[in-house]
A and B are shown apart, each in its own frame.
Chain A
């Protein structure tokens, strides 16, 4: 439980890139995105619907994704999201940013661990 809370705090600022990178592999509708993220996280992280919507609104607002309505099914129409060229660009930038941060944090945390061990 506690571990997941730590997850939430660290993930908070990265929801937008996470959604973008899922959309990189294909269009999705809202609940499909939640499912996909849940699966990719190894069944530990379930994005909340309110967070999903506010993130999608943000991405749509900055033209990183675009929405379109899918065909009518027996559950009604579904709204799909597609990543735009600007979105791909932003996603790439996020990858690089994250790689740099990860390397930095790894280095810092490893050093701390090493000193504790001594």
Chain B
């Protein structure tokens, strides 16, 4: 049985670069599993059952590596879906004027679809969370998420600048392109212009969502059962 445990732990740590620190942790993990196994055996469990329960505690060593967090998966995913739903609804409501102004209608419709998808995902995950309190974890690579956060911020910023540049270029460079200066002849047109300028702000919600994913990992860290 001890040999099996040793082999199990070896397999867990396979493929990792064995630094001194990791070797240290490996020894600690093995000795704790060993103590648990002994304890289960002392409680009268069969060898097989004791082994099964012992290894169930640790199915991955991702949590021992830096920048990684273990979360309860359904709860985490459900909260994330809820945030996505909230954001999509927010944009959907904020773009209701699109119907009148005729600008950004595609965004308005896309957000309705996104709300529907996120809402459905949320409900399903919520049901799964209720049904299966199996304590199964899910590994979140924080370092990866943080990288994404940075990337999506840059992407969103770039998209924003590009959109604004195009919009303003077309409007205020009007005398260059069309040989006729721009005329904002009334509050309506000013509103349309302001509205079109505000629309691209919606793309900032993507990095915000990724950021939320990082935050939620803290809140949902799996603790015990």
Give CA–CA (A53, B24) in the complex, Å: 13
- Residues in A whose Cβ lies below 8 Å from that of B57: 48-50
- Residues in A whose Cβ lies below 8 Å from that of B223: 8, 11-12, 15, 47-48, 51
Task: Determine if B31 is an interface residue (Cβ-Cβ < 8 Å).
Answer: yes
Give CA–CA (A48, B57) in the complex, Å: 7
- Residues in B whose Cβ lies below 8 Å from that of A29: 31-32, 35
Known: A31-B32, A49-B29, A75-B38. 15 other contacts (CB 8 A): A8-B223, A12-B223, A30-B31, A30-B35, A31-B39, A32-B35, A47-B224, A48-B222, A50-B57, A51-B221, A51-B224, A53-B29, A53-B64, A76-B27, A77-B31
**Residues B137 and A35 in contact, CB atoms below 8 Å apart:** no
**Residues B28 and A79 in contact, CB atoms below 8 Å apart:** yes
Within 8 A of B (CB), among A60-94: 75-79
Give CA–CA (A4, B24) in the complex, Å: 33
Give CA–CA (A85, B33) in the complex, Å: 30
Task: Determine if B135 is an interface residue (Cβ-Cβ < 8 Å).
Answer: yes
Closest to A78 in B: B31
Interface range for A: 20 to 34
Give CA–CA (A60, B136) in the complex, Å: 27
**Residues A31 and B36 in contact, CB atoms below 8 Å apart:** yes
Of the A-B pairs whose beta carbons lie under 8 Å apart in the complex, a sample of 29, sorted by A's number, is A1-B133, A4-B225, A5-B133, A8-B224, A12-B221, A29-B32, A30-B32, A31-B32, A31-B33, A31-B39, A32-B35, A46-B225, A47-B223, A47-B224, A49-B29, A50-B57, A50-B58, A50-B70, A51-B70, A51-B221, A51-B222, A53-B28, A53-B29, A53-B63, A75-B2, A75-B38, A76-B30, A78-B32, A79-B24
Identify the 8 closest CB pairs spanning chains A and B, nearest first.
Answer: A31-B35, A75-B34, A30-B32, A50-B63, A31-B32, A79-B28, A49-B57, A47-B224
Task: Determine if A54 is an interface residue (Cβ-Cβ < 8 Å).
Answer: yes
B38-52 toward A: CB 8 Å interface, digit per residue (1/0)? 110000000000000
Q: Which A residues have a C-beta under 8 Å from some C-beta of B?
A: 1, 4-5, 8, 11-12, 15, 29-32, 34-35, 45-51, 53-54, 75-79
**Residues A48 and B225 in contact, CB atoms below 8 Å apart:** yes
**Residues B35 and A78 in contact, CB atoms below 8 Å apart:** yes
Number of A-B contacts (CB under 8 A): 80
Q: Closest CB of chain B to A56's CB: distance in Å? A: 9
Closest to B68 in A: A54
Give CA–CA (A30, B26) in the complex, Å: 13
Q: Closest CB of chain B to A49's CB: distance in Å? A: 5
Give CA–CA (A49, B33) in the complex, Å: 9
Q: Closest CB of chain B to A14's CB: distance in Å? A: 9
- Residues in A whose Cβ lies below 8 Å from that of B135: 48
Q: Closest CB of chain A to B40's CB: distance in Å? A: 11
Closest to B28 in A: A79
- Residues in B whose Cβ lies below 8 Å from that of A4: 225
Q: Closest CB of chain B to A10's CB: distance in Å? A: 10
Give CA–CA (A90, B38) in the complex, Å: 34
**Residues B221 and A35 in contact, CB atoms below 8 Å apart:** no
Q: Closest CB of chain A to B214's CB: distance in Å? A: 16
- Residues in A whose Cβ lies below 8 Å from that of B24: 79
Give CA–CA (A47, B69) in the complex, Å: 16
